[in-house]
């Protein structure tokens, strides 16, 4: 049996779909299932059962012998939320409970970390364990992810295999419910459909021109390939970057979205909201040497190819993965 937490969310629901296409019919999904819009991500997907996240640890106590691998994807991911207690409960302590259960029952564990842990990138974007304790995330979300990474590296007792993946800027189908936290591709698509224009955040950093802020945008299908590789190969427990290894500009992103819709670009700029302006990452780029050295040799979608497939295959059809 495969267990996926956060299964109603963006990446979690895509992972459930991927597991089904790979022939894993015995899947248990975990979430709170309270958001009807998120639950649409699970429509038409087959699985053994769904477990409320509050009951999962107790369920695992009684059913651990049936579980082959746990993907812990569930988390509070709102980077504009500043209530630390929410992140302590849902991201840090809950993750510790899952880790401890996987250790006790000897279940392999793959979990989601985040590139938000890197903060302003003062120490680079290298997934070296020695750097993790030095990182300075810019918001409580990033702090919660980094605190768990640090805690994991202190543990003497571990699951038989474990891997934490620092997701960079993931985009793709099944993120319709994410509102403000959705990818810029989804926001751009909706703006174009509404008024044939896209507004991007203006740069408030003299080192970057408007629209030339750089991020490592990674298509969700590439993320799924890495997670499946991790489960199958189980090569080298540790914390890994998961991006493309190539930073691209928001201007490139918007241009590719227009092109996917066969329209000429019309791009303007607005001020970055005050509540996130001083927490804004102007550059992220995953160093992918560690994952490549572990044996993962599949190629990643280019930004243009990923956006074209996402826009034409999913957004334009209002379809799900």
If the chain, 321 residues long, is cut into consecutive pieces of 10 residues, what is the mean pLDDT of each piece?
Answer: 97 97 94 96 94 97 97 82 79 96 98 96 96 94 96 98 98 95 96 96 95 97 98 96 98 98 97 86 96 97 98 97 97
Do the Cβ atoms of 2 and 22 come closer than 8 Å? no
Tokens of 187: 């926001």
CA separation for the pair 37, 42 (Å, rounded): 10
Q: Domains, the chain, ranges and CATH? A: 2-171+218-245+286-300 (3.40.50.720)
Are the C-beta atoms of 72 and 112 separated by less than 8 Å?
Answer: yes
Please, are residues 144 and 91 in contact by the beta-carbon 8 Å criterion? yes
Token digits of residue 321: 């993965």
> What DSSP element (H or E) covers 131?
helix 129-132
CA-nearest of 87, 94, 85, 27 to 54 is: 94
pTM of the model: 0.95
Q: Which residues are catalytic?
A: 141, 178
Residue 185: both structure tokens together = 């591709």
Residues 6 or more apart whose CB falls under 8 angstroms from that of 139 comprise 79, 80, 82, 116, 279
Is 271:201 a contact under the CB 8 Å cutoff? yes
CA angle 263, 265, 268 (to 5 degrees): 145
**pLDDT tens for residues 104-124?**
999 999 999 999 999 999 999
């Amino acid at each position: 049996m495969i267990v996926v937490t956060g299964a109603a969310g963006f990446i979690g629901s895509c992972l459930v779909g991927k597991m089904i296409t790979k022939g894993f019919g015995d899947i248990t999904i975990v979430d709170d299932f309270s958001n009807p819009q998120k639950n649409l991500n699970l429509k038409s997907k087959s699985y053994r059962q769904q477990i409320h996240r509050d009951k999962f640890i107790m369920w695992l106590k009684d059913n651990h012998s049936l579980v082959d691998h746990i993907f812990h994807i569930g988390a509070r991911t709102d980077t504009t939320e500043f209530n630390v207690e929410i992140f302590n409960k849902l991201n840090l302590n809950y993750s510790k409970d899952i880790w401890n259960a996987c250790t006790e029952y000897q279940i392999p564990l793959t979990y989601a970390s985040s590139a938000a842990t890197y903060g302003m990138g003062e120490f680079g974007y290298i997934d070296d364990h020695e750097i993790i304790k030095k990182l300075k995330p810019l918001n409580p979300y990033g702090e919660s992810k980094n605190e768990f990474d640090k805690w994991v590296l202190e543990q003497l007792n571990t699951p038989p295999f474990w891997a934490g993946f620092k997701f960079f800027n993931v985009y793709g189908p099944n993120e319709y419910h994410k509102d403000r936290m959705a990818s810029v591709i989804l926001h751009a698509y909706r703006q174009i459909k509404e008024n044939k224009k896209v507004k991007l955040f203006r740069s408030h950093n003299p080192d970057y021109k408007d629209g030339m802020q750089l991020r490592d945008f990674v298509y969700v299908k590439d993320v799924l390939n890495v997670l499946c590789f991790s489960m199958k190969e189980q090569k080298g427990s540790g914390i890994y970057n998961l991006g493309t290894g190539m930073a691209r500009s928001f201007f490139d992103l918007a241009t590719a979205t227009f092109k996917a819709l066969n329209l000429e670009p019309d791009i303007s700029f607005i001020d970055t909201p005050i509540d996130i302006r001083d927490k804004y990452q102007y550059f992220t780029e995953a160093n992918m040497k560690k994952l490549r050295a572990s044996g993962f040799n599949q190629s990643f979608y280019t930004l243009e190819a990923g956006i074209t497939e996402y826009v034409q295959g999913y957004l334009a059809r209002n379809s799900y993965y």
